[in-house]
Chain A
């Protein structure tokens, strides 16, 4: 079975802190994605990556950056966390088949 793991299920950070969210997949998928999920807004794509060291902005990249140094790992970085970044963050990966994404369990981030 494909497995996508995220480093934390729950995280509490203070405003202004630098935050790292880690995602690892074990199926050699080329594509990896970071979403945030908010009530009434569904899932919104933050960043995605088609290959190592490649990244593309999604729909809401402001305030975020990403890093993909190895194929299996995709990191989301909040350079200076703000309260409006309190959300559920979901990582996903996929092979070349369009749209078939495997999701991690999510990280619920609270910024105080």
Chain B
């Protein structure tokens, strides 16, 4: 079956630091990969996605590259801001199956 493994949090960084949140997956076939973000008190919202190998998803300064050889989809940002404090979820879905499989989430806190 499908599974997603994220680095455990919480992660605390200073403003303007470089961010990496690791995500690896197990899936049959060629899944689509997603990062969702949940800001305090809100539901999840899609941050970025990639649908095939070597695709790079990007949004709001965040990037993630679909690496089939390492089954990874690590989230990166060059300079984080306090407003990036949130919980980040890595997820996947297989073509033809609308269900998402989520990782456990990584709580990120950015301090000024």
B98 and A96 contacting across the interface, CB-CB below 8 Å: yes
For the complex of A and B, 8 pairs with smallest distance between CB atoms: A99-B93, A103-B43, A42-B104, A103-B44, A43-B102, A105-B43, A98-B93, A42-B102
A48 and B99 contacting across the interface, CB-CB below 8 Å: yes
**B residues lining the A interface (CB < 8 Å):** 32, 34, 36, 41-46, 49, 89, 91-100, 102-105
B98 and A94 contacting across the interface, CB-CB below 8 Å: yes
Q: A88-112: which have CB < 8 Å to B?
A: 90, 92, 94, 96, 98-106
With A40-B104, A98-B98, A99-B49 in contact, is A106–B43 under 8 Å at CB?
A: yes
Taking a contact as CB atoms closer than 8 A, the residue among B32, B41, B104 that contacts A99 in the complex is B32
With A43-B89, A98-B32 in contact, is A103–B45 under 8 Å at CB?
A: yes
A50 and B102 contacting across the interface, CB-CB below 8 Å: no
Q: Which residue of A lies closest to B101 (CB)?
A: A45
CA distance A67 to B77 in the complex (A): 41
B99 and A41 contacting across the interface, CB-CB below 8 Å: no
Q: How many residues from A make CB contacts under 8 Å with B?
A: 24
B105 and A101 contacting across the interface, CB-CB below 8 Å: no
CA distance A41 to B94 in the complex (A): 21
> Which of A43, A50, A90: most chain B Cβ within 10 A?
A43
CA distance A105 to B91 in the complex (A): 19
> Which of A40, A98, A106: most chain B Cβ within 10 A?
A98
Q: A30-60: which have CB < 8 Å to B?
A: 31, 33, 40-43, 45, 48, 50, 58
Taking a contact as CB atoms closer than 8 A, the residue among B43, B92, B96, B98 that contacts A104 in the complex is B43
Q: Which residue of B lies closest to A105 (CB)?
A: B43
